[in-house]
Every structure is written in C-alpha cells, then in structure tokens.
Amino acid sequence: MALGIGDDAAIIDPEHIPAGQKIVIATDTLVAGRHFLEHENPADIGHKALAVNLSDMAAMCARPKWLLMNLTLPDINQKWLPGFQHGVGELLQKYQVELIGGDTTSGPLSIGFTVLGLSSQPKKRSDARDKDLIVVSGQLGSAAFALNNPGQCSDCDAQLKRPTPRFDVSEAVKGYARAMIDVSDGLLADLGHICESSDLGATIQLEKIPIHASIKADSAWRDHVLAGGDDYQLCFTIASKDKDKLPTDCAVIGHMESGEGVHVFENGQKLTVKRSGFDHFT
C-alpha cells in the first residue's frame, strides 16, 4: 500500500502486486431492519458485515488485502461503536486485511464494505461444464433455521451471527474447481446463477446435502436448506475425475446438465419447490 487512511483517496502501487495476480473487488451493503436488527450484539454485526464480503473473495479464490468501510449512523453511539469495531477488527487481523479508507455520514444505520483482493486463479460463475459434479462445503440450512428458531441450536446460531468465510476450501480446490459461488441468498438461487451464467441446468439430491441434525425439528427444514441462505458456504463444480481430491468438509450433491434451471430430487422423487432464495426487494 503506497498510501492509506489520511488523504482524499488511498493509493495502491502496482509494483506491490505480485506478477500473475489479478485485483478482485467485491462490495456489500447491510441495512438495519433488512439484514440485521439494531439491537443485536454490535460485535456480531461488525463480524457478519465484513464476513459476507470476505466470503465473496473466497468464492473468487482470492485473498483479501484491503478494505474500504462506509458507515451511515443515526448518531455517535459510544456503546455501539466499540463493539462493532471489535467485530470488524478481529476479522481484519485474522485475515491480515488493511483498512485503507472509507466514509462516515449521518442517517439510518447501514454498513457498506468494499474489499480488494488478489488472485492468480479467479473463479467465475460461467465456467461450469456439462456433467460437472456440484459440490457444497459445510452444512446448509443452519442460518435459516437459527433465524426462525433462535436459541434452539448453538451451532446454528453461530452460523447465522458469525459466519466463517471458507478460504480453507477455496485454497484447497482452486487448482481444479471450475465455477464457484458462495451460498448467500439460498442454494437454489445461487446455484441458479451458475446455471444461468454457464447456460446449463442442474440436478441435485436433497438427501446428499449436509445438514445439522437439529434443523429437522423444523417442519420447514427443506426450505431452510434449499432457499434459506445466509450460510456463506461455497458451491462449486468440478470434473468427476477430481472427486477424490475434495476436502473432507465438502460433499457432492448433484451434477450439471444440458437444459436450464435447478431440479431437486429427494430419494428419487422430484420436489416442487415454491421458493428459491432471498429476494432483496420483497
């Protein structure tokens, strides 16, 4: 970094970017009342606000390097700000990301982060191929279960409030993964983006998707798994020959195929799915 916080703009010197690396940029905005509640733990809010942005970096197989932070605050709350800063600071330190600038203004509470990272092998949604296997990391549905059943499962609560960007998985599979996306809006919606970008369809098997045992206590567990989102796990495609290379925390749940859309089966029976994922405008 040639110039960080203190001037009208930051400066990144191209000489500091290693040969063969591309700059990858991701941005996210979280709005109070839409993505989080103001009375939630401010450290959890700070952690999640940054984690969802870092998860985009993981989905591109990029390593985050720099952060721009924009805060809109209704007032200067001396009780709220230190907790928020702690939640953000923990992740900045963990992933060695440098805060290089941003802006603070007055208004309804919202948080905007822009992360810049580096990657030698960035992944795109459009790189899936016919007959590719579809893989997910971790467990799906936990965050949606926690949102609807707070306090019923500590692991699920943690997944909702403090998701972990899956850099461990993206680093392990970057040499052979093809298309990749993080599961933020729901598996069907996000896998649907891969299908649309790659001009393919997909078939997945519900029983092959890893889930936390607790979520089946909710009658809507299928909806949580398929459309709940907010887990920030990775969904990606690989050639069948690379199946044995997968990390232990990953599972094959289906395959890409000619056609369009995502088709869901459970124990051989096709499911009719009413909701595909989170809609930001409903």
Question: pLDDT tens-digit profile of 78-93?
Answer: 788 999 999 999 999 9
List of residues 6+ apart from 35 with CB closer than 8 A: none
Residue 280 has pLDDT above 60, yes or no: no
Least confident of 4-8, 49-53, 255-259: 4-8
Identify the CATH homologous superfamily for domain 14-119.
PurM-like, N-terminal domain (3.30.1330.10)
Portions of the chain given CATH number 3.90.650.10: 125-270
H or E element that contains 170: helix 167-173
Cα separation, 48 vs 40, in Å, equals: 11
Specify whether the CB–CB gap between 168 and 182 falls below 8 A: no
Residue 76 has pLDDT above 60, yes or no: yes
Portions of the chain given CATH number 3.30.1330.10: 14-119
What does pTM read for this prediction?
Answer: 0.91
Convert 48-59 to b/e letters by CB count within 10 Å (16 or more is b): bbbbbbbbbbbb
Strand 234-238: give its sheet, edge to edge: 180-182, 234-238, 133-137, 250-257, 201-205, 261-266, 269-270
Q: What is the mean pLDDT of residues 245-274?
A: 94
Cα separation, 132 vs 178, in Å, equals: 9
Q: Dump pLDDT digits (tens) for 116-148.
A: 999 998 999 999 999 999 999 999 999 999 999
* Predicted pLDDT of residue 281: 38
Taking domain 125-270, whether its CATH number is 3.90.650.10 is answered by: yes
Q: Give the orientation angle of helix 154-161 with respect to helix 42-59, to 10 degrees.
A: 70
